[in-house]
A = this chain, B = another copy of it.
Amino acid sequence: MEPSQHASAVLEGSRLALARLMTQVENGEEQGLQVLDILFAYTGRAHLVGVTGSPGTGKSSLVNQLALSYRKPMVGEPRRVGVVAVDPSSPFTGGAILGDRVRMRDLAGDLGVFIRSMATRGSLGGLAASTSRLVQALDAAGYEVILIETVGAGQAEVDVARLAHTTLVVEAPGLGDDIQAIKAGILEIADILVVNKADRPGVESTERALRSMLQLAHPTRHIFVDSGGHHAMQTEFSSAETAHSAGPGDGIPASESDEWMWTPPILRTVAIEGQGVQELAAEIVKHRQYLVDSGGLEQRERQRVKTEVDNLLHDRLLRQWRSSIPSELYNEVIRRVMDRETSPWQAARELAA
């Protein structure tokens, strides 16, 4: 199929065309990138919600219930929902060992929902880049809310935060000290904190721990504001306006600039029973509104676009460089580093010259 035909099929709502595109994108196939290139003009409409947290917090159930709540809202029209679940599968085989999960049975057969599990790829930056592209495909295909679920702690969560408009960090009572430690790390990427399994004992102490960690995390933001954060942002706005007609500031990461007014609320849910899920959905709407009002939405969009362009640029620059340098020279330099005749820094200087 021609890329333009393939793109049209996705825009017309063919689930098969969308699924095929996603597979191509995940595999890094040229065809997929061409289709995505055409589809890019139709993206930017979806609200992206990252859902992250430690194992055992019930993230998947929460995603399930959130999707349901968008499909059967208390007020308003049903929204089309996309789900990208980043599976903890093999980095080396590249295949999802768990495959597309047997779950979300409540959503089965609903054509307003599209669920995709993806493998975590081995290459650095690969996971974030792939996820971002899957999300673009869903966005172009008209899915209005896209839930991005990740497992584990650390880098992946930061990448989700950069990708999503609204990031939920999910916790649950009684997961032990080691989990508490992880919590500290991902707390600062949270726009909304969710204590799931809130019918379990220990919910108060989990909430209390979150609250005091939030206070630990807060000083940074306050210091930023105190030391002229607001002013700095305005300066950025004006300098951007000098450079071209209008637009948000450059240079300040979204995380430092658009969040100083938003204090992450802590919500309780019991996902498997649907408790607290409508309230959570409402809070997500509220956060989006905040982003729109504060200019943060455009700023996050800008950050996303820059990350995407920069990633592609890195690849391209490296490929251009690779094709310009004889592999004998490269291998010879690596050999000298291995023999400790030269350092990696000297080697990079030499090779880039």
Interface residues of A (CB under 8 A from B): 33, 36-38, 40-44, 54-56, 87-93, 97-98, 120, 122, 124-125, 127-128, 151-159, 176, 178-179, 181-182, 184-189, 213, 216-217, 220, 240, 243-244, 247, 250, 255-256, 298, 301-302, 305-306, 308-309, 312-318, 320-321, 327-328, 331-335, 337-338, 340, 343-349, 351-352
**A–B Cβ pairs within 8 angstroms, 14 of them:** A40-B344, A44-B338, A55-B153, A55-B182, A56-B176, A92-B255, A244-B335, A247-B338, A250-B331, A305-B337, A309-B348, A316-B349, A317-B352, A320-B352
In this complex, the member of A38, A328, A331 whose beta carbon has the largest number of chain B beta carbons within 10 angstroms is A331
- Contact check, A155 vs B314: say whether CB atoms are below 8 A apart: no
Q: How many copies does the complex hold?
A: 2
A272 CB, nearest partner CB in chain B, Å: 14
- Contact check, B90 vs A185: say whether CB atoms are below 8 A apart: yes
Residues of B within 8 A of A155 (CB): 91, 120, 124, 127, 154-156
User: What is the interface of chain A mostly: helix, strand, loop, or mixed?
Assistant: helix
CA distance A36 to B220 in the complex (A): 31
Residues of B within 8 A of A97 (CB): 184-185, 213, 216
